[in-house]
Amino acid sequence: MKKLVTLLVGLGMAAFNVFAAVNVNTATQEQLESLNGIGPAKAKAIIDYRLKNGSFKTLEEIDNVPGVGAGIMGKIKNDVTLTGATTVKVKADTSSKKANRESKNAEKAALKSEKNGDATASATAAKSAAKSAEKK
């Protein structure tokens, strides 16, 4: 019986993480930016509104924030809350993706140059790929 209860509690915790929520009354700018349609400017506007007017009393009040309208509200309404802890969904690391893409592009350029018999261009492209990989 204890194993069953433990299993159910574990599954409940896992399900909670899937349904991440951002508390707009306490979230940081980074946490707000994790919401679909909210970038740095809108996240800052939410924080500024919250500092000026106090905590949001209803989700509909978020619509009063400059730059946040019905379209944005439609995107975020299932992901925001007014109470509780903020839990955000894990986003892919875009800097790693960018570095990998740059490295692959440099490798392609090196292969193309090598194919065309341009050893200097090939060496330059290879060095560029190595530098990109080192930076990231």
* Residue range 108-124, pLDDT digits in tens: 666 666 666 655 554 55
Q: pTM, whole model, 2 decimals?
A: 0.53
In the predicted model, what is the mean pLDDT of the chain? 75
* Residue range 2-25, pLDDT digits in tens: 776 665 555 554 444 445 699 999
Find all residues with CB under 8 Å of 68, minimum gap 6, and list them. Answer: 38, 42, 45, 46, 62
CATH number of 2-81: 1.10.150.320
Distance of alpha carbon 87 from alpha carbon 37, whole angstroms? 17
Confidence of residue 76 (pLDDT cuts 50, 70, 90): very high
Domain boundaries along the sequence of the chain:
2-81, 94-135
